């Protein structure tokens, strides 16, 4: 039986929420036993992000399978870990393992873009034989952006930039362009071209408009610093982002 029709347009909403979740709190150096479990899970997630950037899906699985997904409340980023693990399972063709993970996540009380993606993919796999309709997006771009964000958060700007550079061209999204610009700045490199490219990107989605607006603000600031007229960039900023 077909569960439901996969909504079109999931990608932009999903990517927007992925971007909102990229910055998480760091673990405390001195932790109680329960917090040490969180620290270990966070370390595993960080290693898995590096392995994902290297295209090592098997290593992603090896790092994340040790996390206790039956008790997600013990790890604040369990949804992100489950998303990367589920993505790796599908990359490896491990549908049975993905189904077990998805069934576990389905019982969580937590509802996030990551858990919803797992539910969408589970539904798509369940209905594949009943319809010739194309399944929803594989999540590759979102997984790349999430992994790059996690690596950037750890301070590895070189690793994050290497992966984001691979998304240039047809695979580039407003989110990946924004992350690349931020990563270049964190590396003390010139990000002018990256901001200009983001400012000129497709603005059909709410996320695209917001990120393009942020790019115009950044370019306007740079223009003003050089003594140039920033008006063109300021006028291109969506009204919701303008500071009165």
Predicted confidence pLDDT, tens digits, the chain (244 residues)? 333 333 334 444 444 444 444 433 233 333 344 444 458 899 999 889 888 877 889 999 999 999 999 988 888 899 999 999 999 999 999 999 999 999 999 999 888 888 988 998 898 888 765 444 545 556 776 777 777 778 777 777 787 777 777 767 666 778 778 888 888 888 888 888 989 988 988 667 777 788 888 888 989 988 898 999 988 888 888 765 544 4
Domain segments of the chain: what residues?
10-130, 172-241
The distance of Cα 161 from the centroid of its chain, to the nearest Å, equals 14
Instruction: Name the strand (E) or helix (H) holding 57.
Output: helix 57-64
**pTM, to two decimals:** 0.61
Instruction: Please name which of 104, 111, 74 lies closest in space to residue 86, comparing C-alpha atoms.
Output: 104
Inter-residue contact 118 to 85 (CB < 8 Å): no
- Terminal-residue alpha carbon distance, the chain: 54
Q: What is the dihedral of CA 172, 240, 20, 6, to 10 degrees?
A: -70
């Amino acid at each position: 039986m077909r569960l439901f029709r996969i909504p079109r347009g999931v990608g932009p909403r999903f990517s927007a929420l992925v971007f909102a979740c990229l910055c998480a709190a760091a673990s405390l150096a001195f932790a109680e036993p329960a917090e040490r479990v969180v620290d270990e899970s966070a370390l595993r997630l960080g290693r898995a992000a590096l392995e994902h950037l290297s295209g090592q899906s098997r290593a992603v699985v090896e790092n994340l399978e040790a996390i206790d997904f039956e008790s997600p409340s013990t790890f604040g980023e369990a949804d992100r870990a489950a998303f990367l693990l589920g993505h790796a399972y599908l990359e490896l063709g491990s549908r049975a393992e993905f189904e077990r993970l998805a069934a576990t996540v389905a019982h969580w009380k937590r509802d996030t873009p990551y858990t919803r993606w797992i539910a969408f993919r589970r539904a798509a796999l369940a209905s594949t034989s009943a319809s010739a309709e194309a399944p929803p997006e594989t999540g590759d771009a979102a997984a790349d952006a999430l992994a790059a964000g996690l690596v950037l958060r750890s301070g590895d700007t070189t690793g994050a930039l290497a992966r984001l550079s691979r998304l240039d061209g047809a695979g580039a999204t407003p989110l990946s362009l924004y992350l690349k610009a931020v990563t270049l700045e964190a590396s003390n490199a010139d990000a002018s071209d990256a901001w200009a490219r983001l400012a000129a990107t497709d603005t059909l989605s709410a996320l695209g408009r917001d990120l393009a607006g942020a790019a115009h603000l950044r370019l306007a600031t740079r223009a003003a610093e050089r003594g140039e007229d920033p008006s063109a960039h300021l006028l291109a900023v969506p009204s919701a982002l303008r500071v009165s």
